[in-house]
Structure 1
Amino acid sequence: MNDAPSPVPPLPGWRHVYSGKVRDLYEPDGSVVGVALRDRHGDVVLVVASDRVSAYDHVLSTPIPDKGAVLTALSLWWFEQLADLVPNHVVTTDVPVAVAGRAMVCRRLEMIPVECVARGYLTGSGLAEYRNAGEVTGIELPAGLVDGSRLPEPIFTPATKAALGEHDENVRFSVVVDTVGPAVAEQLRDLTLAVYARAEAVARERGVILADTKLEFGTDPATGDLTLGDEVLTPDSSRFWPADAWEPGRAQPSFDKQFVRDWLTSPASGWDRASDVPPPPLPPDVVARTRDRYLEAYERLTGRALDL
């Protein structure tokens, strides 16, 4: 079940066209501003990261202050670190004042209908598959692995994109081949693993483990090149763990909305996850601790404080 995102504000020169769990998309309108943008950059969209937070297929009623700014700033930083590996969709951060710091003007891509996931550690849905069959998306793994185990080498474990409010479904590589053809499938796999390898090394230097990450690619209509889109290597799309607390065999502390999930499933929330009732508002201490965790992820990875 998914709860509808809250209304989005109008922005001069832009027309709202879509809201996801966290992001709102706008396209240039017919105004002078919109025409000028199209003339300068071609077909573009404005991607705005809100402070909304989702958990267990619900968009919660309580936002996490500055979360959208963290997601945007961290994505921009990673796009810079990866620029020599793969092109990205960012055109400019010259955006309306109302969304400054949390928005990017991006090229409109023809998105590939595959979630490109790289895993270097075993946890989450990959751990569930491994416990059931000793493999993840058809890739056999050694016996004896536990929650948080480092894999012998990173693996590409794609998923099909689900509708808003639904779960993505892990699939074998052969499904990607059937979906986009062998050449593009191999390129997606190779790019995903190359991005993971670069990011894992960067994070490790900063005392952070990148357990896994989800990437989205599209084709740039102007060049035909596979291009990295959406967000990249944020706490919403990746699992980051503090290296000094890594201990295989248990759930790892993480730089994300762990406090939100833990509170929702605790007796204190009074919420029944199996019901159709939306989750209750988050208490202030959970909001504050979650905000601090997102900011800490940005600061530890980039080595600088976020200018809010």
Structure 2
Amino acid sequence: MTDTTPALPGWRHVYSGKVRDLYEPDATAAGAALRERHGDVVLVVATDRVSAYDHVLSPGIPGKGVVLTQLSLWWFAQLADLVPNHVVSTDVPEAVAGRAMVCRRLEMYPVECVVRGYLTGSGLVEYRASGQVTGIPLPAGLEDGSRLPEPVFTPATKAVVGEHDENVPFAVVVEQLGEDAATTLRDLTLAVYARAEAVARGRGVILADTKLEFGVDPTTGAVTLGDEVLTPDSSRFWPADAWQPGRAQPSFDKQFVRDWLTSSASGWDRASDTPPPPLPADVVERTRARYLEAYERLTGDALTV
């Protein structure tokens, strides 16, 4: 990994995922002051780590954590009138400034709320096999990158660490959460996508699909948007002027990393148990440039990292 978990005054490290580190207020006076000020919160730190094919790679992508955090904050602001979010404060320790958020601890729903406006990825695989995606019939003749007649909610169950999420029909979510909660999540996911797709399109970017996570805020009882939102790690963004159905689309994410790992240049056998080799400097730099370009195209602002 390219990041360690820094010691942060008032905070105790409790968890590390592939990309994010999670802290909670510690037992010191500083931690007590945090709880007094904010209530039941966690510190979500986006690192520069990059993962692909269930491996965390080395080195990381410099500035990636700042991009993910700042873009999420920008999107939370664009969506504030649609759905509340979990951000409480951006007043964070200097060591993680720009790449961390103090967030309300939510009771998370165990569902990945995925919405697709275009056909690609695992949705394309399902469509080619059955003409459907999570039980939703789609028109014949669609290709990789085709725009769907209307966006579709294609949820996935959250897998345990090291396994893949599984796309499931909406009925499975109803069975798991109840009809009211499942319908609320579906409607909010589609509403967020509709807003974000229009915003992105106005900036020359196609939002092909995205993954959202929701939870209940125990202080208000409201369904609340959590985790990151509408970043290149959770969404497929394509340049609108290069969109061409029938092929893989250029994207604003870690596609350079995936392409290099699966090329003969890497020398890595994905089917083996061996870890991937270190990323070349040019792959790191091109990936970094794509993340920054995504931020700048969407927000209209330059980001110095």
For normalisation by structure 2, the TM-score amounts to: 0.99
CA deviation after TM superposition for structure 1 residue 166, in Å: 1.6
1:252 aligned onto 2:279:
no
CA displacement at 1:45 relative to structure 2: 0.1
CA contact (8 A) 2:2 2:59 kept: no
Amino acid at match of 2:95: A
Q: 1:107 aligns with which of 81, 101, 104?
A: 104
2:9, 2:164 → 1: CA distance? 35
Preserved CA contact (<8 Å) 1:212 1:239:
yes
Shift of 1:30: 1.4
- Answer whether contact 1:21 1:164 (CA < 8 A) is retained: no
Alignment match, 2:91: 94
Residue number in structure 1 paired with 2:145:
148
SS in 1 for 2:265: helix
| Structure 1 residue 9 displacement after superposition | 1.5
How large is the RMSD of aligned CA atoms in angstroms?
Answer: 0.9
Secondary structure at the aligned position of 1:269 is classed as coil
**Separation (CA, whole Å) in 1 of partners of 2:121 and 2:266:** 23
| Alpha-carbon displacement from aligned partner over 1:44-90 (angstroms, at most 9, x marks no partner) | 00000000000001011210000000000000000000000000000
State the secondary structure of the residue aligned to 2:207: strand
Ranges in structure 2 where 5+ consecutive residues have no aligned partner: none
Question: Which deviations, in whole Å up to 9, do the C-alpha atoms of 1:188-230 show, x marking residues without a partner?
Answer: 0000000000000000000000000000000000111100000
Q: What SS is found at the alignment partner of 1:268?
A: coil
Q: Give the match for residue 30 of structure 2.
A: 33
* Cα distance in 1 for residues equivalent to 2:84 and 2:2: 30
Structure 1 residue 31: deviation in Å? 1.6
Indicate whether 1:267 and 2:264 are aligned: yes
Contact 1:88–1:227, Cα closer than 8 Å, also in 2: yes
Are residue 50 (structure 1) and residue 33 (structure 2) matched? no
Bigger shift: 172-181 or 31-40? Answer: 31-40
Matching of residue 69 in structure 1 with residue 66 in structure 2 = yes
| Structure 2 counterpart of 1:84, from 71, 81, 85 | 81
Q: Is the 8 Å Cα contact of residues 91 and 107 (structure 1) preserved in structure 2? A: yes
Contact 1:112 1:218 in 2 (8 A): yes
How many angstroms apart in 2 are the aligned matches of 1:208 and 1:259?
Answer: 19
Amino acid at match of 2:35: R
TM-superposed deviation, 1:119:
0.2
The CA distance in 1 between the partners of 2:49 and 2:2, in whole Å, is 8
Alignment match of 1:121 (pick from 115, 118, 122) = 118
Distance 2:165 2:2 in 1: 19
Is 2:197 the partner of 1:200?
Answer: yes
**1:163 corresponds to:** 160
Report the equivalent of 1:294: 291
3-state SS of 1:267 partner: coil
Deviation at 1:5, TM superposition (A): 8.3
Distance between the aligned counterparts of 1:211 and 1:6, measured in 2? 30
Q: Secondary structure of 1:38's partner? A: helix
- After TM superposition, give the deviation of residue 165 of structure 1 in Å: 2.3
Q: Distance in 1 between matches of 2:272 and 2:232?
A: 27
Counterpart code for 1:141? L
Return the alpha-carbon distance in structure 2 between the equivalents of residues 183 and 28 of structure 1. 34
**Identity, % of aligned positions:** 82
2:279 alignment partner, one of 279, 282, 286? 282
Mapped partners of 2:46, 2:130: distance in 1: 38
| Aligned 8 A contact 1:5 1:59 in 2 | no
Distance apart, 1:6 and its partner CA:
5.8
Contact 2:3 2:47 in 1 (8 A): no
Q: Is the 8 A contact 1:5 1:21 kept in 2?
A: no
Structure 1 unpaired stretches of 5+: none
CA contact (8 A) 1:5 1:20 kept: no
TM-superposed CA distance for 1:307, in Å, is 3.4
Code of the residue aligned with 1:98 in structure 2: it is: A
Report SS of the residue matched to 2:114: strand
SS at 1:198 equivalent: helix
| Residue 7 of structure 1, CA deviation | 4.0
CA distance in structure 1 between the aligned counterparts of 2:212 and 2:298, rounded to whole angstroms? 18
Work out the CA distance in 2 between the residues paired with 1:204 and 1:24. Answer: 32
Q: Match for 1:154: what amino acid?
A: P
Instruction: Name the SS of the counterpart of 1:25 in structure 2.
Output: strand
2:237 alignment partner, one of 235, 240, 245: 240
Aligned partner of 2:207 in structure 1 is 210
